[in-house]
Structure 1
Amino acid sequence: MSVSLPGSLVSTEWLAAHLDHQNLVILDGSFKLPGATPIASEDFASRHIPGARFFDIDTIADHETLLPHMLPSADAFERYAGDLGISNDSVVVVYDTPGLMSAGRVWWTLRTFGHDTVAILDGGLKKWLAEERAVTHEVVAPASARFHATFDPTAVRSKAQVLDNLGSRAEQVIDARSAGRFTAEEKEARPGLRSGHIPGSLNLPFNALTDPQSGELLPVEDIRKAFETAGLDLSKPVIASCGSGVTAAALVFGLHLLGKEDVAVYDGAWTEWGQPGEAPVDIGPDKRGDGR
């Protein structure tokens, strides 16, 4: 029996009722910052939603750059997706452990390579466990599938494009890092990076879109208010950034729920921009967005 998605966000109740559908692929896209232990793949090996496959953000990436988990080529993604048993006919549900830290990155990656039948599990594994739903440590290798990728270049921005945007201000830049990292009150976790933010950018920490207790997404109107309070003009195009291109996609997903699609991710993010060099950096509250 096949299943269709009810929308871009699915409930734990919906997923529990459809676990056995043949065209459903469940992906655990959990991610942790460097140095955190146990690592995400070890967490997956100890417990995950039955039938889930682990989408390793660091493995499914471009390995010809020193920047972490940059998008792979379309050819490489076809192989990665096929190895996970994802075909163009698959219905994909993505989750992560806290609710919306890295699931958005997996959701965005699939859409960037042309797969729109993908949703995020509301509340992630956190809510699933709180409801005492079944988990397993059994890892079953999926049957390989054939996936054809169609890359969407409008979904991604490069450093050169963000530099050009400093002059044109054609697109708003919004940063998903914590307020302390944005204002340089906190140091970056990755060594050697400068602190601060892209000049003119706004700040909305990605976890401002979720309930801190359940991990669920806030109501749509509360999400809208969060973006507007941060200073974002929802009528204009957006570039989302963060530390390394992961949590920026959470903001992309939040804007998607508002019906806004003219949003791209700066994939190199602060890991690229914050390196010593010519890219300008601001510190303290941003004058356009007051650092909120």
Structure 2
Amino acid sequence: MSDGLNSTVSTQWLADHLSAPDVRVVDGTYYLPNENKNARQLYEEQHIENAVFFDIDDICDEGNPLPHMIPSDIKFASRVRKLGLGDGNRIIVYDQRGLFSAARIWWMFKLFGHKDVAVLDGGLPKWLEENRPVDDNKVYPGERHFTPRFNSFLVRDKGQMLKNLDTRKEQIIDARAAGRFTGETPEPRETLRSGHIPGSLSLPFTELQNDKGVLKSSQELRVIFEKAGVDYSKPIVTSCGSGVTAAVLSLGLELTGHKNISLYDGSWTEWGQEGETPVDIGT
């Protein structure tokens, strides 16, 4: 990261820099449809001072039948500009769970070429636990120019994933719960098959953090990845249910020093549909 901004920042760092003119704070919360929670409404009830709300179901390719797929660079730039997020900003993303969807927004900014972006470690729960201030004030951001520089190396599509079944050049790590990976637990989206992409490794994203959404140390993360079978000499593709928690694995890998990480945007919501994609069951 340029200007010394790491992939994550602590609550103390944000408290110390909250009034800095170049720092922008983003609530990037997303709840699954079956959770019956309204992320935007909860944001409006309480958020970190001057935080704007980033809706992954709005800043997406709405013409794609898959949920919250990446938008065009023009749409991304237009939407984040209106949120006051742009060139020269240090962008700090948090979510209301601790760490679930904030990493997806972190990855999206990197995908579109913005390097000064970090995730707030522990998110809003840690911020509140430390009695740091929140408010319900409406935020009126001034527009900020954003120059998109799309980095295709950070994302994979189904065609590339199918080709990789033959080449095995890239390792695939699946962030879903172990039961969904093995096929023992049904998918929350009823139309999808159960199982996993052949040759992929299972590493539920929750294993990278404690029960409060705080990431484990980089040394601990490295051990966790290697125990899951990750070969650090090979490129890695992260995957999950719909491209959200895969980014938690991408974040963890970056914190351990891995330099060649991409994310399968369609993830299991695409791969698990009936069609030409092969599926494995079990471990």
TM range (shorter): over 0.9
Task: Please say if 1:78 is aligned against 2:77.
Answer: yes
Residues in 1 aligned to 2:9 and 2:134: alpha-carbon distance in whole angstroms: 18
Residue 23 of structure 1: aligned partner: 22
Of residues 250, 253, 267, the one that matches 1:252 is 250
Residue 35 of structure 2: aligned partner: 36
Residues in 2 aligned to 1:267 and 1:43: alpha-carbon distance in whole angstroms: 26
SS at the partner of 1:239?
Answer: strand
Residues in 2 aligned to 1:169 and 1:55: alpha-carbon distance in whole angstroms: 35
1:154-208 Cα offsets, whole Å, 9 max, x none, are: 1110001000100110100000000011011111111201111001100101111
1:261 shift after superposition: 2.0
Q: Is the 8 A contact 1:5 1:119 kept in 2?
A: no
1:179-218 map, 5 Å: 179-212=178-211, 214-218=212-216
TM-score by length of 2: 0.97
Identical columns (%): 50
SS at the partner of 2:34?
Answer: coil
Give the letter for the 1:40 counterpart: A
Residue 101 of structure 1: aligned partner: 100
Residue 164 of structure 1: aligned partner: 163
SS at the partner of 1:99?
Answer: coil
Q: Is the 8 A contact 1:156 1:264 kept in 2?
A: yes
Residues in 1 aligned to 2:134 and 2:36: alpha-carbon distance in whole angstroms: 21
1:54 shift after superposition: 0.5
SS at the partner of 1:35?
Answer: helix
SS at the partner of 2:35?
Answer: coil
Aligned residues: 282
Which residues of structure 2 form unaligned runs of 5+?
Answer: none
1:5 shift after superposition: 4.8
TM-score by length of 1: 0.94
1:85-108 Cα offsets, whole Å, 9 max, x none, are: 012111100111222211110000
1:253-279 Cα offsets, whole Å, 9 max, x none, are: 001001112110000000000011110
Of residues 225, 228, 234, the one that matches 2:226 is 228
Residues in 2 aligned to 1:6 and 1:281: alpha-carbon distance in whole angstroms: 40
1:212-234 Cα offsets, whole Å, 9 max, x none, are: 1x321101111001111111101
Residue 115 of structure 1: aligned partner: 114
Give the letter for the 1:143 counterpart: G
Give 4+ residue runs of structure 1 displaced > 6 Å after superposition: none
Residue 239 of structure 1: aligned partner: 237
Q: Is the 8 A contact 1:19 1:51 kept in 2?
A: no
Of residues 269, 272, 277, the one that matches 1:279 is 277
Q: Is the 8 A contact 2:49 2:135 kept in 1?
A: yes
Task: Please say if 1:131 is aligned against 2:130.
Answer: yes
Task: Please say if 1:54 is aligned against 2:53.
Answer: yes
Give the letter for the 1:103 counterpart: A
1:38 shift after superposition: 2.2
1:134 shift after superposition: 0.8
Give the letter for the 1:95 counterpart: Y
